A and B are shown apart, each in its own frame.
Chain A
Amino acid sequence: MKGLKPLFLGIFATFAFSWLGLALVPNYQIGHLDPQSDEEGTDVYPMPPSGMAERGRKVYAANGCFYCHSQQVRPDTDSSDIDRKWGDRRSAPRDYIFSRPVMLGNERMGPDLANVGKRAPADDSNTAAPVASPAGSPAASPVAATAAASSAAKPAPSRPGVPSVPPTAPPAPSPATSLDSSPKSNGVAPAYSAAWHHQHLFAPRALDIDSNMPAYRFLYQNRRINGERSADALTLTGADAPPTGWEIVPTYEAKCLVAYLMSLDQSHPLTEVKSNAPPTPPAAGKAATK
């Protein structure tokens, strides 16, 4: 076949066409979005993440969390994402303007995390109310059984420095409560609280027997208790618990990772997306379908 010029031109043209169409034009369309705010310039969303959360995003990327956890809620016309309480509305480009790298994910070996920060208990340091997340923690009962059984054998560390066990808590048979935990007897912190995330990252199958998530134990430090037990030491039971006199504390990376997870929240209404959430007054009038 003759004619080199048409060949080279064609090779470049086809590729340029695809680049133009799938990278440049969309970038023009959705690549320069600003946070939205109301008329007074308040109620800005989204906000740039904190330094710790930003660092946690790197930990999240480096350890490949995004290969199994997506961060996008699809519309309820095509999926059950909203029925699963993964979000009140579908995700929109504006939700991600501060995300770098953006990790939408393309596989769900684990649940979607787009709103995992939203699912945390409202006041996560001393809540005594039962946690309202039955949909999110399917295996609560077997965990409770195993954990309660094993907590009897567990040595009870004394923690005089921990102030936050609410005085109104029901009489707990086990002393295995920690800073962030609910007064539930099994030592499991309220789902999606910071303490729960740490327990879950350290020993996923202690919280959900069916979980196939790998444990990220290298993000935690096993160290001897010097004097008092640290406030942020993990409450662990059974085989996961450290020997007496030792404690397991999160490294700074683990704390950043949890800060990142807690920061994931797309619940704020966006004008361009219809929300299924109970309408909040300022957004209700403006909610428009697009």
Chain B
Amino acid sequence: MTPTFSTYDAAEVPLKAPSVSTDVLTSEVEQVERALIDASTRVPVLMFYTSAIVWLLIGTVLSVLVSFKLHSPDLLGNVSFLTWGRIHPAQMDIMVFGWASMVGMGTAVWLMARLCRTVLRHPLLLVAGAAFWNLGVLLGVGAILGGDSTGYEWLEFPPYASIVLFVAYSLIMTWAVLMFRFRRGEQIYITQWYLLGAFLWFPWLYSAAQLMLFAVPVQGVMQAAVNWWFANNLLFLWFGAIALGTAYYMIPKVIGRPVHSYHLATIGFWTYALFSSWTGMQRLVDGPFPAWMITASIAATILTIIPVATVGLNQHMTMAGNFQLLRYSPTLRFTVFGAMSYTVFSAVGVLISLRSVARYVNFTEASVAYTQLGLYAFYSMIMFGSMYYIVPRLVGREWRYGSLIKLHFWAAVYGIGLLTLMLLAGGFVQGSSMNDPSLAFSESTQSILPYLRGRTLAGLLMMAAHCVFAFHFGLMLFGLGRTASVPTFLNPMETEDSEPQL
């Protein structure tokens, strides 16, 4: 694309297809159209991205502190708002609502506009939505640090912060869905399925949880069931759906060929929606619940192998023959890593949900590893990939340094890899000593200490990755990217016939 078109006011562009005179090539028209759409999404999407990255940096610093405190509990322990019990939920919610949700909405809005082939109308309303969302997260995090947490995981924000979040979300969702209404073309691409699903599932999920926990609170252990149902579905139906939709767009786009099988994609979508929404209760195994709930969730977890297999197979077949492009394209590399992590994430999920394994790993750090695999290795990596694709199209510059992208990738991969290994191995060690009643309980917390130190190291690696990325993004934001017609590659391009679109 060329930056020339970005000076147009997108809202003034007529919505009908531009009349194509015979002397203009269709491809040129399409290029103009795409540039106009990109231009219309520029301000809101960049705002979402910038906020997300700021939250990511804050969350990363806090999570390293949280990790340190697990093995050095007296560090900064005398100030109430810096105690472990407060910064742990604060960093978790910053990552979930500040980083992951905001970057996801940014990417989803951009993808929606592109796929509906329509300019984003009234982008300022989206900007207002993003501002409200930031306000909600800020209020919520302030409340947690100030000692006003509600006591439900991932729902620690007190109702006054949740209401702000919800207002913000209604603004954002309305415009995303309206875009869908004004779409052009009969085809609805698979990415749009996932995004529509995510945009419609989230408000239902969030309001149902708020309703059942705060407005008309359910009794006793049902709160825990609703809490887990929410947290799990947030992971699958909100983050997971956005990530899978994005991967379905990015992989074919970068390698320049269509999705291998549309039929498989459809099966994958419906089985994903059906089975993954029933998981979650396996985390309550042997808890004070009717056994059927837990069994149903374990069965659903095992059945998620079906969507994993179809999605994995489909994306693998799409990629087949183009794996050498992973050497060059940052978007492809991040996205494919994320898509592969989806398989690993689900496999670990199945493993730790089996009753025979769960008796060892329940109540250990292994469940943290599982969440991190989903939220970071799967979701966040795909989001990083999408940002490497989208940001140049918004600012009209290319990424400045290929080396920084490489650094970001490897630091993040080693970081999340080390973290997962440490927490999984540590979780098994912790669980087996916890399960042996002849050992003192403190034996189990002592046995995991070396692994927790390894986790801190992993956290530092990820912090380095995020700082590099934030710096690079800052350069782009201030117009310091490269002005070039070729995208930035990870490695110098060897002579090839087909230029990847990157």
Binding site for B on A (CB under 8 A): 1-2, 4, 7-8, 10-12, 14-15, 17-19, 21-23, 26-27, 29-33, 57-58, 60-68, 70, 72, 74-75, 78-80, 83-84, 90-111, 138-139, 204-205, 208, 210-218
Smallest CB-CB separation from A29: which chain B residue? B290
Q: Which has the most chain A C-beta neighbours within 10 Å: B193, B220, B355?
A: B220
* Interface residues, chain B, with chain A CB atoms under 8 Å away: 69-71, 73-74, 77-80, 83-86, 88-89, 147-153, 186-190, 193, 196-197, 200-201, 204-205, 208, 212-213, 217-226, 229, 233, 237, 262, 266, 270, 273-274, 277-278, 280-281, 283-290, 293, 296-297, 355, 359, 362-365, 367-368, 434-437, 440-446, 449
Q: Which of these, B89, B221, B296, B444, contacts A93 with CB under 8 Å?
A: B221
- Judging by beta carbons under 8 Å apart, are B293 and A215 in contact? no
Do A17 and B224 have beta carbons less than 8 Å apart?
Answer: no
Bound Cα distance from A78 to B294, whole angstroms? 14
Check A84–B288 contact: CB distance below 8 A: no
**Contact at B288–A95, with CB atoms within 8 Å?**
yes
Contact status B437-A104, CB under 8 Å? no
* Secondary structure class of chain A's binding surface, majority of residues: loop
- Of B188, B220, B273, B289, which is within 8 A of A99 by CB? B220
- Please determine whether B290 and A79 come into contact, CB atoms closer than 8 angstroms: no
Can you report 30 residue pairs joining A to B where beta carbons are below 8 Å apart? A2-B187, A2-B188, A8-B196, A8-B200, A12-B200, A17-B278, A23-B225, A23-B226, A27-B218, A30-B289, A57-B151, A61-B149, A62-B86, A63-B86, A63-B147, A67-B88, A79-B362, A80-B437, A92-B288, A93-B220, A93-B221, A93-B289, A97-B219, A100-B220, A111-B441, A208-B442, A210-B442, A210-B446, A214-B84, A215-B77
Complex: how many Å from CA A144 to CA B501?
Answer: 71
Nearest A residue to B81 via CB reads A218
Task: Given A12-B200, A30-B289, verify A103-B280 contact (CB < 8 Å).
Answer: no
Our pick among A15, A23, A60, A70 for the contact of B212 (Cβ within 8 Å) is: A23
B221, A96: Cβ atoms under 8 Å?
A: yes
On whether the beta carbons of B273 and A67 are closer than 8 Å, the reply is no
Distance of A92 Cα from B189 Cα, bound (Å)? 48
Chain A residues with CB below 8 A from B445, complex form: 109-110, 210, 212
Q: A104-B288, A138-B443 are in contact. List 9 more A-B contacts (CB 8 A).
A: A1-B262, A23-B222, A30-B221, A63-B86, A74-B287, A75-B286, A107-B363, A107-B365, A108-B363
CB nearest to B189 among chain A residues: A1
In the bound assembly, the distance between CA atoms of A205 and B213 in angstroms comes to 36
Q: Is the CB of A104 within 8 A of B224?
A: yes
Contacts of A105 on B, CB cut-off 8 Å?
A: 363
- Contact residues in A for B153 (Cβ distance below 8 Å): 67, 106
> Given A61-B150, A67-B88, A74-B286, A138 and B280 touching (CB < 8 A)?
no
Most buried by A among B274, B355, B440: B440
Q: Sorted from nearest, which 4 A-B pairs have the closest CB atoms?
A: A64-B85, A61-B151, A83-B437, A138-B440
Shortest Cβ distance from B148 into A: residue: A62
Known: A21-B296, A93-B288. A2 touches B186 (CB 8 A): yes
A210–B440 alpha-carbon span in the complex (Å): 11
